[in-house]
Structure 1
Amino acid sequence: MFKKAIALLLLFVSCSLFSQQLTLKHYEGKETTFNTKVVIDSISFTGFNLKINVDDSLATLDNISNINKKLNAEGNFKFTLNDNIANISYSSGNVITVHKAMTLFEITTKPKQGFSAVIYEVTDDSFFNYDSINQAYNSKDQKIEKTIIHPKPFFSSDKIVFGILMLILGFVFYTESSKKSGWKTFYKYVPALLICYVLPAILSSFGIISDKYSETYMIASRFLLPAALILMTLSIDLKGVFNLGPKALIMFFTGTIGIIIGGPLAILLISFVYPEAVGGMGPDAVWRGLSTLAGSWIGGGANQAAMYEIYEYSPDKYGAMVLVDIVVANLWMAILLLGIGKSQKIDNWLKADNSAIEHLKVKVSAFADKIKRNPTLSELMIMLALAFGGVSLAHFGASNITDYLTSNFDAVKDKDGALSFLGSSFFWMITIATAFGITLSYTKAKNYEGAGASKIGSIFIYILVASIGMKMDLGKVLENPGLIAIGLVWMTFHAALLILVAKLIRAPFFFLAVGSQANVGGAASAPIVASAFHPSLTSVGVLLAVFGYVVGTYGAILCTILMEMASKV
């Protein structure tokens, strides 16, 4: 048995009035003591009263510490701890204005063994401006998400987790290149990329590693992914990509339509065999929760958040929808990766004309062979400088663009709005990184492809794949059978429509797979699937995924309207 330890992960307490947000965030400390930051955002105040309860069956309230220096300098901060209840008050003669997240103080708790539920409850949270309560807000108006207590994995240190992921990648590539007949037969049918995804999922399922305690995915998706996009579009033949024809867009929109109609059809079908799974009233109505899946599976995280705000699904039940999203989307991605190993047979069955794709692959490969050389240390350093310099530029641009748009355009700032995706820094990061790589392809920098630019990019992509695999807990597949069933039926309709249209227009499996992932997986996984066919095709996945952000909210709203109608049949 692996050692079991419990860690507090995250508690969000957000309020709808005055766009204020009070947040409690955990960061890992000692095994027996946990510190939780209490953070406030978007508010002006001269004082506040907070009352925070800690369930004494779960943990012991130990202390209030690390009080914000500005608060101490400009006013009086007081607190009392009685029976696991923290009463905190503050008053100042000056108005304190907070534009971005500011930590007020930290709560120290000592968890008890064996708990797995809510640990904090905010019962009083009044913020005052001078002597009036014109900016006070009521707990009843808040959306309080339960604190999730996750079992600590056997390895929780990122230093160790990253090493394990690299060992997995090394093992996969070593066995894939093996000349032994057993491995050759295995990888003939199972793509190496799929194994790089599945092995971390298995370790996560057995509690050896966990994405809940690791920042590996965050680092891979925010640093390595944009770097990979730059390196893999460095030598892009943009004209060749456009010459692929309209089938890429047709399959993308087919995938979108499959999600839009698949949701209500899944509700209708499941309602005949398991009506409880599609019921619920008011905020607990299942169709409201499924709206967040529609947002995620057509666009991405920003669209999913928009649907959550628009349809106000119960926060207590939202975690189950996130589980369905992770399980079903990742299972579908695994199937697509498995299909890549048999893409030629699938194309033959579809009677697909993939000549344009093959021409692009040959053209890019010929260019790479023409300039191929053993890279020098200088060339390697320059390639990394271009990649991570571009990443820096992408993050800088994304931060400033999102700040400007959210500050000046209500349509972007409004999380309920269809244009809320423009306030996503991830969207702009991917867009800028891709544009930077395409720009370099018109310069002499494209010759670095001969020194292995796309190969370095592929390394980054495989690390991202392994970190995504770590997010998949195979043991949770059957935790919510009703919702999982809806998700699986929904994805089946999506897949069936894609196959039907691909057969009718004779579209290659590449367009089917990438068109689907541009919807369901978004900008993080569409390039992975595209690059699995050939590095030169990575940009196709990126461009379609970015387009998914644009149509995501609109498509999800239409899907939700249909799901609401279906749930009442």
Structure 2
Amino acid sequence: MITDGFHYLGVLLALSGGIVYVTQRRDYRVFKYVPGFVLLYFGAAALNTVGVFGDSKSIDSAGTAVKDALLPPMIFLLLFKCDLRKIVKLGPKLLLTFFVTALSIVLGFVVAYVALKSALHPEAGKALGALAASWTGGSANMVAVQGIVHSPENIFGYVLIVDTVLYSLWLLLMFGSAGFSERFNRWTRAETTHLDAQATAEQEQRPIDLASIMTLIGFSLALSAAAGWAGSVLPELGEVVNATTWAILIVSVLGLVVASTPLGRTAGSSEIATVMLYVVIGIIASGSDFSSLTEAPLYLLAGVVVLLVHLVVMVVYAKLARAELFSLAVASTANIGGVASAPVVASAFDRQLVPVGVLFALLGAFMGTFVGLTTVELLSAL
């Protein structure tokens, strides 16, 4: 049994390193469908279930301190690629489609929560809000919301399972939708002129070196400390807007500012942010216990309801706004899937429009945390 905080963090880092090595260096088909974050969650939760991590103040304080310290710089670094100047160039119709997609997902969570509230855990709204952050942004937004609202680790495990299972099915559906896009566009009487000239060239990056790594780590951690101090002196508003919320809001805005400067093109920002994300997820997972997984199917049902509402709203919107299937599918994938999957779906329609998928996903990465927190507030009021 491990009761020392340093040993505890060492085990989580070793587990993370092993999972990343296997998933990146071994060509097993299962790794195409099961993200490394999910494997890490199950691995850390399994260690806790069998009693590897003891119940000690050293472990609790180490995990809490590291998680709180890494959340703001992780969000900050992930936004380095989110250049608002490029996003604005998408045009009003594409941006409207993206925002309607995000709103339909939030509406889906409200409907699912109202329908299943009596059977869910009293704090299920916090976990569903974290899932809403993931389905409008990404995994980093999910753990950010979990850290702010303190959703119970076991319930967070349920929504992580829902995220993985339904995301995989939804990605297959969106990828396959390219085959009947022409018939769908004829039905909606869509115009595609707003898609012209949307392709943008990727900016070149210098290779990752010691200077870029030290600059990114030093700058992001220093900024995180400053944002944490600022958040501690700003007023708390309700249960959601607390010191952590203020810190993440500050670094999110600064991340957008830096993205439009030469510093935003520094190589290695996404890699370092991903390392931080693995550590944070490992810490959260280490507080989970598999003995209560029997409730997971109920949360899976909630996820299905969310996607059904989302699908209905998007079809109605497409008919009313004469939207083409490309923007619907890519906006939906950018929300539910993120930056790794949106370009793949975009390429199924037209390779020249892959940057649209990237920009959609980056916009979601900025919005996801705040959409998730708004969802928590909505569900808590029901």
Range of TM-score over shorter length: 0.5 to 0.7
The answer (yes or no) to whether the contact 2:338–2:364 under 8 Å persists in 1 is yes
Structure-to-structure mapping, 1:252-263, within 5 angstroms: 252-263=98-109
Match of 1:25 in 2: 11
Whether 1:251 and 2:69 are equivalent positions in the alignment is: no
Match of 2:313 in 1: 497
Quick one: distance in 2 between partners of 1:419 and 1:322?
24
Q: Deviations over 1:358-415 (max 9, x none)?
A: x438x99xxx9xxxxxxxxxxxxxx9xx567279998666435422321322268988
Whether 1:348 and 2:186 are equivalent positions in the alignment is: yes
Quick one: distance in 2 between partners of 1:431 and 1:13?
39
Distance of aligned partners of 1:400 and 1:541 in 2 relative to their CA distance in 1, 3 Å threshold: farther
- Aligned to 2:50, the other structure's residue is in SS state coil
Aligned length: 295
The answer (yes or no) to whether the contact 1:405–1:422 under 8 Å persists in 2 is no
Quick one: distance in 2 between partners of 1:392 and 1:341?
46
* CA drift at 1:295: 1.3
Structure-to-structure mapping, 1:55-74, within 5 angstroms: none
Say which of 189, 213, 217 aligns to 1:399.
217
What letter is aligned with 1:260? V
Query: What stretches of structure 2 of length at least 5 have no aligned partner?
Result: 16-45, 68-80, 233-241, 267-293
Q: Percent identity?
A: 26
* CA drift at 1:24: 4.6
Structure-to-structure mapping, 1:320-399, within 5 angstroms: 320-357=158-195, 359-360=196-197, 389=207, 398-399=216-217
Distance of aligned partners of 1:356 and 1:21 in 2 relative to their CA distance in 1, 3 Å threshold: farther
Structure-to-structure mapping, 1:101-180, within 5 angstroms: 117-125=49-57
* CA drift at 1:252: 0.8
Structure-to-structure mapping, 1:464-483, within 5 angstroms: 480-483=296-299
The answer (yes or no) to whether the contact 1:303–1:420 under 8 Å persists in 2 is no
- Aligned to 2:244, the other structure's residue is in SS state coil
* CA drift at 1:324: 0.7
Say which of 533, 548, 563 aligns to 2:364.
548
Distance of aligned partners of 1:256 and 1:419 in 2 relative to their CA distance in 1, 3 Å threshold: farther
Whether 1:539 and 2:376 are equivalent positions in the alignment is: no
The answer (yes or no) to whether the contact 2:227–2:247 under 8 Å persists in 1 is no
Match of 1:310 in 2: 148
The answer (yes or no) to whether the contact 1:390–1:436 under 8 Å persists in 2 is no
* CA drift at 1:423: 5.6
Say which of 268, 272, 287 aligns to 2:114.
268
Distance of aligned partners of 1:121 and 1:404 in 2 relative to their CA distance in 1, 3 Å threshold: closer
Quick one: distance in 1 between partners of 2:4 and 2:355?
39
Distance of aligned partners of 1:327 and 1:423 in 2 relative to their CA distance in 1, 3 Å threshold: farther
* CA drift at 1:563: 1.8
- Aligned to 2:11, the other structure's residue is in SS state strand
What letter is aligned with 2:184? I
Quick one: distance in 2 between partners of 1:349 and 1:420?
43
Say which of 489, 494, 511 aligns to 2:327.
511
Distance of aligned partners of 1:401 and 1:535 in 2 relative to their CA distance in 1, 3 Å threshold: farther
What letter is aligned with 2:227? F
Quick one: distance in 2 between partners of 1:116 and 1:322?
17
Quick one: distance in 2 between partners of 1:513 and 1:418?
33
* CA drift at 1:486: 0.2
Distance of aligned partners of 1:500 and 1:399 in 2 relative to their CA distance in 1, 3 Å threshold: farther
Q: Deviations over 1:248-277 (max 9, x none)?
A: 110111011112221111122335xxx42x
The answer (yes or no) to whether the contact 1:526–1:541 under 8 Å persists in 2 is yes
Match of 1:209 in 2: none
Q: Which structure carries more helix by proportion? A: 2
Match of 1:420 in 2: 248
* CA drift at 1:306: 2.1
Distance of aligned partners of 1:270 and 1:417 in 2 relative to their CA distance in 1, 3 Å threshold: same
The answer (yes or no) to whether the contact 1:307–1:553 under 8 Å persists in 2 is yes
The answer (yes or no) to whether the contact 1:329–1:521 under 8 Å persists in 2 is yes
Quick one: distance in 2 between partners of 1:301 and 1:552?
9
* CA drift at 1:22: 5.5
Q: Which structure carries more strand by proportion? A: 1
What letter is aligned with 2:49? A
Match of 1:292 in 2: 130
What letter is aligned with 1:320? Y
Quick one: distance in 2 between partners of 1:435 and 1:115?
38
Distance of aligned partners of 1:117 and 1:138 in 2 relative to their CA distance in 1, 3 Å threshold: closer
The answer (yes or no) to whether the contact 2:3–2:55 under 8 Å persists in 1 is no
- Aligned to 2:221, the other structure's residue is in SS state helix
The answer (yes or no) to whether the contact 2:343–2:354 under 8 Å persists in 1 is yes
Match of 1:165 in 2: none
When normalised by structure 2's length, the TM-score is 0.62
- Aligned to 2:54, the other structure's residue is in SS state strand
The answer (yes or no) to whether the contact 2:227–2:251 under 8 Å persists in 1 is no
Distance of aligned partners of 1:138 and 1:508 in 2 relative to their CA distance in 1, 3 Å threshold: closer
What letter is aligned with 1:416? T
Match of 1:487 in 2: 303
Quick one: distance in 1 between partners of 2:3 and 2:186?
51
Quick one: distance in 2 between partners of 1:124 and 1:484?
33
Match of 1:191 in 2: none
Q: Deviations over 1:84-128 (max 9, x none)?
A: xxxxxxxxxxxxxxxxxxxxxxxxxxxxxx99933323244459x
- Aligned to 1:360, the other structure's residue is in SS state coil
Whose relative contact order is higher, 1 or 2, with alpha carbons under 8 Å and at least 6 apart?
2
The answer (yes or no) to whether the contact 2:93–2:194 under 8 Å persists in 1 is no
* CA drift at 1:558: 1.8
* CA drift at 1:419: 5.4
Distance of aligned partners of 1:13 and 1:355 in 2 relative to their CA distance in 1, 3 Å threshold: farther
What letter is aligned with 1:250? L
Quick one: distance in 2 between partners of 1:13 and 1:334?
44
The answer (yes or no) to whether the contact 1:418–1:554 under 8 Å persists in 2 is no
Distance of aligned partners of 1:387 and 1:412 in 2 relative to their CA distance in 1, 3 Å threshold: farther
Quick one: distance in 2 between partners of 1:557 and 1:12?
33
* CA drift at 1:485: 0.7
Distance of aligned partners of 1:21 and 1:541 in 2 relative to their CA distance in 1, 3 Å threshold: farther
The answer (yes or no) to whether the contact 2:145–2:372 under 8 Å persists in 1 is yes
* CA drift at 1:522: 2.1
Quick one: distance in 1 between partners of 2:193 and 2:349?
14
Aligned CA RMSD, in angstroms, stands at 4.6
Quick one: distance in 1 between partners of 2:349 and 2:322?
18
When normalised by structure 1's length, the TM-score is 0.44
* CA drift at 1:490: 0.7
